[in-house]
Structure 1
Amino acid sequence: MSERVKLYQKISAVMKDVEYLSKDDKVEFSNTKYKAISEEKVTSTVRESLIRNKLVILPVEQQHKREGNLSTVDTKYKIVDIETGEFEIIVSSGTGADTQDKGVGKAMTYAYKYLLLRTFAIPTGEDPDKVSSAELDEKQRKAEEEDAKKFTLVKAKWETLAGTLDGFEDWHGKQIKAGVTNAQMDQLLAKKLMEKKKESA
């Protein structure tokens, strides 16, 4: 039996191990409500079978682009039989919408999730096509508007506390890089304003 055939037999074994994954997440938008399956559930379930069958999946090449708030990632992976070193190249793509710098990460997560679902032909009952692009665009637009409002509040609170906007852009940029949202910054500065009022009372 060739090493390539052994690799395909192991892939088939994973398909037999993971015959179905039920949805464990809820997505709600306007009048649309549907269940989805999380990346965590897909990865953790398939991971157990990969370990058992002595397979590893490695990203070996990636390209990404960003248009507006939408990041797209195209990734090549190797699925490797660690007993023989035989491998097959598999590909996947993903998109992620984000107003800050997390779009690529979201796209990578989406790409890996669907790589596992499609490579091992795992049915979930999930049908993303049932959610129209217009609905998703509207959801994204509202999220961006809300984020912009929070940014305005953060800026105003900073100016109230410091009496000037000097240093604001540098501070705000560092907070964003650290993964702090405008909503969280607004809460933080609101707390500081409350403390300042108590001190001056």
Structure 2
Amino acid sequence: MEMTGTNTTTGTTEKPLERSLVRKLAEVMGEVERVPKTGRNDFHRYDYATEADIVSAVRKAMADRALMLIPSVVKTEWRDVERNKGGKDRIATLTVRFTLTDGDSGEERSFEVLGEGQDQGDKATYKALTGAVKYALLKLFLIPTGDDPEDDGQSHNQQSQRGSPQRARHAMGDGVPPQRTNTAPPHAAPRAGGADDVAAAIVSESEQVTKEEFPALYARAQGLPKGSKAREVAGEAVKAAAKRLGFTARQVAVMQKQPQREPGADG
């Protein structure tokens, strides 16, 4: 994160204003402590500090010192990715320039951050900008959250280790997915367009799936590789959806044998 800047105060016969931006940044950094993780990513099974948590941690300290941070999108890139068995997700990649201004001295500093968001609807840009703001504040003030992109996952509990490999996107929400550097676990499908993407889509769709749509969603989950992490996670999401929709155990058993049939045909 390269920072550039100027002192916008004009030269006069009066004593120039004291350069105070760096000192104020250091003061804010000293006040902000570890931010608690109030967000939860159920698909990847980890907690994270949300953008709202980060903003709340620094907002008052910045306002008290007349510090302003203004984002400006300087570049937007779009691409679509195919989803298994139809449908597309849109990925937005934003280059965001942040201008940090000291209201007392007039000093300014600017830096750029990349933000990426993925959504099957119209929220990809919002997610990308939200992520950019979050990471800008995290890195500018060196805010500790416990999320280490170089974490090899050894400190996670056994339940977390049963989740599918983490992905450095906001496909499932406003999280900070820890990026793994170790090799993929056994049975893991290739990351690009593989079983993990399908499982992520199933988890997302399961929250709003209707009774009419459920058989097709269930069939997609059953189509994932047997014994894979992706199938395990997708299966849990589908079971939760079945319970929410009121399907009986018998109806689910019928779908396990004949996944393409409508639920309830035999009972």
For the aligned pair, the TM-score class normalised by the smaller chain equals 0.5 to 0.7
Matching residue of 2:135: 114
Rounded Cα–Cα distance in structure 1 between residues aligned with 2:16 and 2:139: 25
In the TM superposition, residue 86 of structure 1 has moved relative to its aligned partner by 0.7
Deviations 1:119-148 (A, max 9, x none): 000010023565523486344432576599
With over 3 angstroms needed to count, the CA separation of the structure-2 counterparts of 1:147 and 1:37, relative to structure 1, is: closer
Matching residue of 1:167: none
% same residue: 27
Kindly indicate whether the alpha-carbon contact (under 8 Å) linking 1:58 and 1:78 is maintained by their aligned counterparts in 2: yes
After TM superposition, list the pairs within 5 Å mapping 1:1-201 onto structure 2: 5-29=19-43, 32-68=44-80, 69-127=90-148, 132-133=166-167, 134=191, 137-142=197-202
In the TM superposition, residue 60 of structure 1 has moved relative to its aligned partner by 3.4
With over 3 angstroms needed to count, the CA separation of the structure-2 counterparts of 1:66 and 1:116, relative to structure 1, is: same
Kindly indicate whether the alpha-carbon contact (under 8 Å) linking 2:99 and 2:108 is maintained by their aligned counterparts in 1: yes
With over 3 angstroms needed to count, the CA separation of the structure-2 counterparts of 1:118 and 1:4, relative to structure 1, is: farther
Counterpart residue identity of residue 71, structure 1: A
With over 3 angstroms needed to count, the CA separation of the structure-2 counterparts of 1:144 and 1:44, relative to structure 1, is: closer
Matched positions, count: 150
**Any unmatched runs of 5+ in structure 2?**
1-14, 81-89, 154-164, 168-190, 214-267
Q: Which range moved further: 122-131 or 133-142? A: 133-142
What secondary structure does 2:42 align onto?
Answer: strand
Q: Please give the TM-score of this superposition, normalised by the length of structure 2.
A: 0.50
With over 3 angstroms needed to count, the CA separation of the structure-2 counterparts of 1:147 and 1:124, relative to structure 1, is: closer
Counterpart residue identity of residue 55, structure 2: T
Which segments of structure 1 move beyond 4 Å, counting only runs of 4 or more? 1-5, 128-131, 143-150
Counterpart residue identity of residue 62, structure 2: L
Q: Please give the TM-score of this superposition, normalised by the length of structure 1.
A: 0.65
What secondary structure does 1:79 align onto?
Answer: strand
In the TM superposition, residue 116 of structure 1 has moved relative to its aligned partner by 0.3
What secondary structure does 2:52 align onto?
Answer: helix
Rounded Cα–Cα distance in structure 1 between residues aligned with 2:115 and 2:199: 19
Rounded Cα–Cα distance in structure 1 between residues aligned with 2:126 and 2:49: 18
**Any unmatched runs of 5+ in structure 1?**
154-201
CA-atom RMSD in angstroms: 2.8
Rounded Cα–Cα distance in structure 1 between residues aligned with 2:131 and 2:196: 16
Q: Which range moved further: 122-131 or 42-51? A: 122-131
What secondary structure does 2:37 align onto?
Answer: coil
Instruction: Answer 1 or 2: which has greater helix percent.
Output: 1
Rounded Cα–Cα distance in structure 2 between residues aligned with 1:3 and 1:137: 54
What secondary structure does 1:19 align onto?
Answer: coil
